[in-house]
Every structure is written in structure tokens, then in C-alpha cells.
């Protein structure tokens, strides 16, 4: 899987690639991540990539020329490998695990555009971008952190990226449910004891307990996931409070 991230703050993005899962995936050749400075395609001698919005108003808007030039050059360098152009913006489709699975299965290369300031010229959205993604209904200063979230979430699903492949399957939201509670040693801490079923060695009982706790936690904390008609959730599961 190849990721191309276009930003005006390349060092911010590169810093996240120097440790942890993403560094290991890069070293194993599972992913490649190239970070591009949008200012390299500026048409201004001062390397500006933004300008005042037509019609007035506050803030600055990314000009179309640098973004079109950046994407076209990146696509040309990728040869025959198809690339999807993704704009990270609050107006996009809200990111969830289903969308992450789709991205990991359908694309070999993602070009992630990180917006800043007041926004981008609408012609970029209309004529250059293939899909728009939002990570939630709140305000950030730019698309760098959202782009990194997409990269890590997709990478986790790629073969060999994490030590135990089943961990990615068991994570929260993988079945449309929140994760069950986890415990480790010691078996008793300050008078709080680990549930006996987890110490029993009965794998079927443990699996049932984990499933029940996963459903219970989802009903309590994210009932909207159950109301969404998730096929993996038994009908009639109600909220336990």
C-alpha cells in the first residue's frame, strides 16, 4: 500500500513515521509513505499557496494551481498504479471501520490532501478529489492528523502489519461493537479481582463472556451502533444500565 501525503507542514507528518506501527510497516515494506510539501508547487516566488477568498470573509483559501500540479505530478510518477485522491475535510464522509476496510481492499495508492486555513478552492473539490473524509464533528487546524489516522487505520489491516493478525479482527468496531474488558496480572489488585471466568481455562465460556460484555458495553456507551441494524448483533439486544 502506498500513501502520498500533500501538506504545508511536512515535518509534522514525518515525525509520526519515526516510531511504532508505521515505522515497522515501512521497514517491512508493507507500506510506503511519501510526504510532499505543497509549497514545492507554488506559483508564487514567496512560495505562497493560499489567497484571499472572493466575496470577502475571514481566513485564507488554498489556491487550485498548486494542488492540481502536485496531484498530477504524483499520479504521473506512479505509472499505471491507480491512485485515489482523498481530501481530509469536515464536510466529508465520517470515517468508520467499514470505510477503512474498503480503502484497504480497493486501493493500492492513496493521495491524501491536507487542508488548512479557511478551506480549499471549490474547483479542487469538484474536479480533482475522488472522495472526502472527515474523522468527526469537531474542528482541527488542518488535515495532517486526520491523514495520519487514515494511514494507521488502513495499515493495521494489511497482512503482516501487526504481530498477531487476529488482534485487528478483534479490535473495537471490527464487528460493529465496542471491545470487551481486558485484564492482566496480577489476578487481584487492591482488592479488585479479575472475573473468575477468565481464570477458568474454559475457552468457550470465556468467548461467551467476552461477547456478552462487548454487547453490554456497546449498549451502554454506543447504543447507536446497535440501533444501526448491525448484522453481527443479535436482534432484540437492548441497553443494560
User: What value does the mean pLDDT take over residues 115-137?
Assistant: 94
Position 82 scores a pLDDT of 84
What architecture does CATH give domain 2-156? Answer: 3-Layer(aba) Sandwich (3.40)
pTM to 2 decimals?
0.84
> What tens digit of pLDDT does each residue of 39-68 get?
999 988 899 999 999 998 888 999 999 999
The contacts of residue 124 (CB under 8 Å, 6+ apart) are 62, 64, 67, 68, 87, 113
Active site residue 90: yes
**Structural domain boundaries in the chain:** 2-156, 172-227
- Evaluate if residue 225 carries a pLDDT over 70: yes
Catalytic residue list contains 159? no
239 pLDDT more than 70: no
Q: Which one of 171, 210, 211, 217 is the catalytic residue?
A: 171
Residue 195 is a catalytic residue: no
Q: Which CATH class is domain 172-227?
A: mainly alpha
Pair 168, 162: CB distance under 8 Å: yes
Among 10, 66, 90, 146, the one annotated catalytic: 90
**CA 185/CA 36 separation, integer angstroms:** 45
Note whether 2-156 and 172-227 share their fold.
no
44 as an active site residue: the answer is no
The answer to which of 37-41, 135-139, 163-167, 187-191 has the lowest mean pLDDT is 163-167
**pLDDT tens readout for residues 74-117:** 999 977 788 999 999 999 999 999 999 999 999 999 999 999 88
Determine the 3-state secondary structure of 212 from DSSP. Answer: helix
Burial of 15 (0-12, 13-18, 19+ CB in 10 A): exposed
- Active-site residue (options: 66, 156, 175, 216): 156
Q: Tell me the pLDDT band of 174, cut-offs 50, 70 and 90.
A: low
Residue 173: band (very low, low, confident or very high) from pLDDT cuts 50, 70, 90:
low
Percent of the chain beyond pLDDT 90? 80
Rg value, the chain, Cα: 22
Confidence at residue 238, expressed as pLDDT on a 0 to 100 scale: 35
* Closest C-alpha among 155, 97, 95, 173 to residue 131: 95
Determine the pLDDT at residue 167.
57
First to last CA, the chain: 43
pLDDT above 70 (res 235): no
Instruction: State yes or no: pLDDT of 154 exceeds 50.
Output: yes
What is the per-residue DSSP string for 148-203?
A: HHHHHHHHHTSTTSSS-HHHHHHSTTTTSSPPPP---S-SEETTEE--HHHHS--H
Amino acid at each position: 500500500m502506498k500513501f502520498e501525503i500533500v501538506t504545508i507542514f511536512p515535518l509534522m507528518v514525518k515525525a509520526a513515521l519515526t516510531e511504532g506501527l508505521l515505522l515497522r510497516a515501512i521497514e517491512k515494506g508493507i507500506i510506503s509513505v511519501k510526504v510532499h510539501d505543497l509549497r514545492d508547487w507554488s506559483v508564487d516566488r514567496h512560495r505562497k499557496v493560499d489567497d484571499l477568498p472572493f466575496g470577502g470573509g475571514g481566513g485564507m483559501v488554498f489556491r487550485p494551481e498548486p494542488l492540481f500540479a502536485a496531484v498530477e505530478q504524483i499520479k504521473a510518477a506512479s505509472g499505471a498504479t491507480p491512485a485515489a485522491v482523498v481530501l481530509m475535510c469536515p464536510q466529508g464522509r465520517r470515517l468508520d471501520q467499514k470505510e477503512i476496510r474498503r480503502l484497504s481492499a480497493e486501493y493500492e495508492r492513496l493521495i491524501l490532501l491536507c487542508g488548512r486555513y479557511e478551506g480549499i478552492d471549490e474547483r479542487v473539490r469538484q474536479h480533482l478529489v475522488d472522495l472526502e473524509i472527515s474523522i468527526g464533528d469537531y474542528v482541527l487546524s488542518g488535515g495532517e492528523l486526520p491523514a495520519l489516522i487514515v494511514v494507521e487505520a488502513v495499515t493495521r489491516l494489511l497482512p503482516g502489519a501487526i504481530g498477531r493478525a487476529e488482534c485487528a479482527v478483534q479490535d473495537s468496531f471490527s464487528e460493529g461493537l465496542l471491545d470487551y474488558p481486558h485484564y492482566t496480572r496480577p489476578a487481584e489488585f487492591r482488592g479488585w479481582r479479575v472475573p473468575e471466568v477468565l481464570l477458568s481455562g474454559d475457552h468457550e465460556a470465556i468467548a461467551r463472556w467476552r461477547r456478552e460484555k462487548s454487547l453490554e458495553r456497546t449498549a451502554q456507551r454506543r447504543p447507536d451502533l446497535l440501533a444501526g441494524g448491525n448484522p453481527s448483533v443479535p436482534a432484540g439486544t437492548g441497553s443494560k444500565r
